[in-house]
Structure 1
């Protein structure tokens, strides 16, 4: 089983049995949560600055934990699988991969790639490609929605981090994280194809005070 630090140093993706939900939480706590990332986005004749932060309440959502629990646990218990409660339940050992598999193995397998590729998020944040994302341009139709979509290709997969502006806040937050497998060289990523490409440059990574 890898530690969070070992996970950060990997050059090939881990096997699902070599990681745990708690290790991914520690990874997030060490390498993502403490920082504010700032980017300059150039789009036609306009330039804007985006500041991104990773809150603890985003963690479970990025890994699809609530999605696995939906329709399996009572609605009144869903809070245990999302937000701060979900974060704390991973930290105290109540939530782990075995528990999620037992809840809904089929749904867990459908989001397993999130867990395996999660370690690449810090690398993605260093040199992201990006589009202005419009879900109405995705075919077949999708529920995945965000304002900006950062992405990068690793081997035969594209990892995506969707960003959204917090209500009445200056910061963006990670709304979605997902992986699209490309089985053939000619395969197109439906989430990037037909979208408006933008140029993103990372300016800074500072520790939140």
Structure 2
């Protein structure tokens, strides 16, 4: 599964990338192996995308950073050192308090999703799910790194990551990685088509 737009309009180019893939894939059925089903969620945070393309589009309608709301190492507040801190956001009133989080959790478990890419922007690289990363997520990250120019291991800013989608996915047996696009405007389409091919052919 590919997830885009978890940070809404702040990372609007991830939504644009998802739309590009959705447009391309019907004409390229050869890209998807016959034993694979690909789900693409173009925007997990449509309210943020609608509100603004910039920092004010990062949170959902409740002022929650959806990538801090997952029941995995969740903290109501987290150390700001090295983390995104341009606006005061919350992690929600409790783990999985937000409807977007709840809906995607239900979908991932209900569809028995095996592997996931969560797109972000910008520039920090490829992150593996799990703390420490689980073997399947590491394997997926390494495979993607071989066909991409994104930094791997990712840039270490000193941020303490809490309540993340990929960590929850890892806890639930899903190989999961974050990929940060190179800028806040580019979709790096050619590179991400290579990544897509590798992703769809990756096996545990």
TM normalised by structure 1 equals 0.29
- Greater percentage in strand: 1
Q: Which has the larger radius of gyration?
A: 1
TM normalised by structure 2 equals 0.29
